[in-house]
Chain A
Amino acid sequence: MRSASRILSLTILGFAIVAVGLGITSPVQAGEVPMPNPAKAFKGEQCVEPNDVMRRDHMEFLKHQRDETLREGIRGQKYSLNACIDCHAVTSPDVAGGKVRTLKPFCAECHSYAAVSIDCFQCHSGAAQPGMGKQSALNPESMPADHDAKAMIAALESHLKKGADQ
């Protein structure tokens, strides 16, 4: 009898917790911090990875590649802060009176919401400059020799044919 009443009380407590949980996930209420709304990319429609991957893992990509670039001398890889700047730098009235595109306001949109304290822009200028995206993975100018592309197309097409046969 005693254990039955305990189960009942636990159940009521459980409902109470669920109810509180629902209250938290309800739409934004007055006084809450608004959701971040980063600006659309200055150029390009598709980032180097899907948006959800970039949102979660961009810091890993950048950290990994910065070490390879600086310490090993590997250049021209897919993820680069300069490529971020080339596409995502935005004008902001706080920076140079809105005359220069910089990446900082774009990053700060989410970083301030999530209380992320890392700041690349104590050293990296973050300002877009002509020719900056030349090593960007999305820049057609940086595409390598044509024969590589043709070999890849051939390999891919043979693969697709195999799939059609099965």
Chain B
Amino acid sequence: MSDKTMNTVDTSRRNILKGGAAAAVVTLAPGVTLRTVEAAVTGPATSAKRWGMLIDANAPEGVWDLAVEACKTEQGWGPEANKSGKANDSTDPQWIRKVSVKDPKTGAKATLPVMCQHCANPPCVDVCPTGASMKREDGIVLVDKHICIGCRYCMMACPYSCRSFVHEDVKGQKPHMPRGKGTVEACTMCVHRVDKGQKPACVEALNKAGSDAIMFGDLNDPNSDISRAVSQYVTQRIRADLGVDPGVHYRGI
């Protein structure tokens, strides 16, 4: 019996003994108990959902630092994670970064965070020679570091320069986010939290600070907050002309 079909109670004795979706203590005879345990299984991710974000670039500039710090803390990246203990600005990974832009004609300025845009047609996945660069059914683009060979072709292909290569030995990895020298990494949209029904760390940090500058939700659900917002406001996606269909939308740029 595969783990995916464990939600039904099977009447086959063998399968029950092997373990179902439930936990149970069964008394077989006085003094003899049978205990089968199985954690609640969730998933798989399906294309019924399309996770996305809406970022309001009109928000006060300071909130983006909160988002970047929350990401570092949650995922364990940044100069503090270098085993050498030294920061190296030219090579240290950046999962999310604060970018300031200015229209030279009008002088209009904006500051916005840029991270993996979780494209529906991700160029990084197209070019990956090993299949490590992949898109989940629900639109989250990830690197399978188990088979990443560190060729960095995806970094060349990404129009947003949102992927980083780990150049140094690292320390202090989180249980949910293994990291190692020689692999490529990027924003995972906090997939470990999303699968538990939580929001990404950056969104939660802003919410705690009383800001909804980053909105997270299911773009496929017409009743979700994010779907309502993108239908109500004029939003842009960076380099929409490329046709990669990013899952991250922006307001005010």
Q: When each residue 67-103 of chain B gets 1 if its CB lies under 8 Å from chain A and 0 otherwise, what string results?
A: 0000000000000000000000000000000000000
**Cα separation A78 to B23 with both chains bound (whole Å):** 12
Please, which residues of chain A bring their CB within 8 A of the CB of B10?
155
- Name the segment of A9-17, A30-38, A106-114, A141-149 touching the other chain: A141-149
Q: Which of B42-56 contact A (CB under 8 A)?
A: 42-45
- Interface SS, B side: loop
Q: When each residue 70-99 of chain A gets 1 if its CB lies under 8 Å from chain B and 0 otherwise, what string results?
A: 111111111000100100000000000000
In contact, B175 and A132 (Cβ under 8 angstroms): yes
Q: How many residues of A are counted as interface, with CB atoms below 8 angstroms from the partner's CB atoms?
A: 42
Q: How many residues of B are counted as interface, with CB atoms below 8 angstroms from the partner's CB atoms?
A: 47
Given contacts A123-B145, A159-B16, contact A144 B23 (CB under 8 A): yes
Which of A75, A124, A140, A160 gathers the greatest number of chain B CB atoms within 10 Å? Answer: A75
Q: Does A4 contact B (CB under 8 A)?
A: no
Q: When each residue 178-195 of chain B gets 1 if its CB lies under 8 Å from chain A and 0 otherwise, what string results?
A: 111101000000010001
Please, which residues of chain B bring their CB within 8 A of the CB of A51?
none
Which of B38, B45, B179 gathers the greatest number of chain A CB atoms within 10 Å? Answer: B38
Using a CB–CB cutoff of 8 Å, the interface residues on chain B facing chain A are 3-4, 9-11, 13, 16-17, 19-24, 26, 28, 36-45, 134, 136-138, 142, 144-146, 171-175, 178-181, 183, 191, 195-196
Extra contacts, 14 of them, besides A138-B37, A152-B22, A156-B26 (Cβ < 8 A), are A73-B43, A73-B138, A74-B41, A77-B39, A123-B180, A125-B171, A125-B173, A125-B178, A142-B39, A148-B23, A149-B22, A153-B26, A155-B11, A159-B11
